[in-house]
């Protein structure tokens, strides 16, 4: 398992830098300095000369009803995302964070590694979130 998922220190011993990086997962059992898991994740995997990228983000749904969603975009790192998936709604960010943690654990097991690169598909996921919010009445009936 990747060091930043378990809270182990890096080779340089910079545990805090791992835990506080915006695209890194927080340790499973955070210490007092760490309040919550970040609401975004960037992972890459290289295979046969191609780099596959997955970006995930947790966002609140419109309406102030306490519902949150998890959006994940996937594709080749040097192109546009080929798929955007939405999971949820979740009652509160903690539920969405636990699903994101499970997804991250699974992807690391498949050879993906955390990326230090900034998010490149934020606009694509924001557009998908707008579509979800526009259709919220149809998709979320019975969830509240």
Residue-wise pLDDT for 110-139, tens only, equals: 999 998 888 899 999 999 999 999 987 665
Q: Which residues pair with 60 in a beta bridge?
A: 68
Instruction: Please give the distance of CA 132 from its chain centroid, rounded to a whole number.
Output: 17
User: Does pLDDT of 31 surpass 50?
Assistant: no
Instruction: Say what percent of the chain tops pLDDT 70.
Output: 68
Higher pLDDT, 99 or 11: 99
CA angle, 52 then 112 then 17, to 5°: 115
Cα(141)–Cα(144) distance, integer angstroms:
7
* CA quadruple 115, 121, 125, 128: dihedral sign: negative
- Measuring CA to CA, which residue among 21, 51, 43, 62 is closest to residue 101? 43
Average pLDDT rounded to a whole number, residues 67-88? 95
Burial of 112 (0-12, 13-18, 19+ CB in 10 A): buried
Specify the pairing of strand 83-91 against strand 67-76. Answer: antiparallel
What's this model's pTM, rounded to 2 decimal places? Answer: 0.69
CA angle, 114 then 6 then 24, to 5°: 30
Sheet holding 50-60, edge to edge: 83-91, 67-76, 50-60, 40-47, 113-114
> For residue 29, what pLDDT is reported?
40
55 touches 125 (CB < 8 A) = yes
């Amino acid at each position: 398992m990747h060091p930043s998922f378990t809270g182990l220190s890096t080779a340089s011993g910079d545990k805090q830098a791992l835990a506080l990086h915006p695209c890194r997962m927080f340790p499973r059992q955070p210490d007092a300095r760490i309040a919550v898991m970040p609401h975004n994740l960037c992972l890459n995997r290289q295979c046969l000369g191609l780099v596959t990228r997955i970006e995930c983000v947790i966002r609140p749904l419109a309406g102030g009803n306490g519902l949150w969603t998890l959006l994940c975009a996937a594709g080749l790192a040097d192109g546009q995302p080929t798929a955007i998936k939405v999971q949820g709604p979740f009652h509160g960010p903690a539920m969405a964070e636990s699903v994101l943690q499970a997804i991250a654990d699974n992807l690391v097991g498949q050879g993906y590694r955390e990326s230090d690169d900034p998010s490149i598909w934020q606009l694509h996921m924001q557009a998908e979130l707008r579509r979800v919010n526009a259709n919220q009445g149809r998709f979320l009936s019975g969830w509240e």
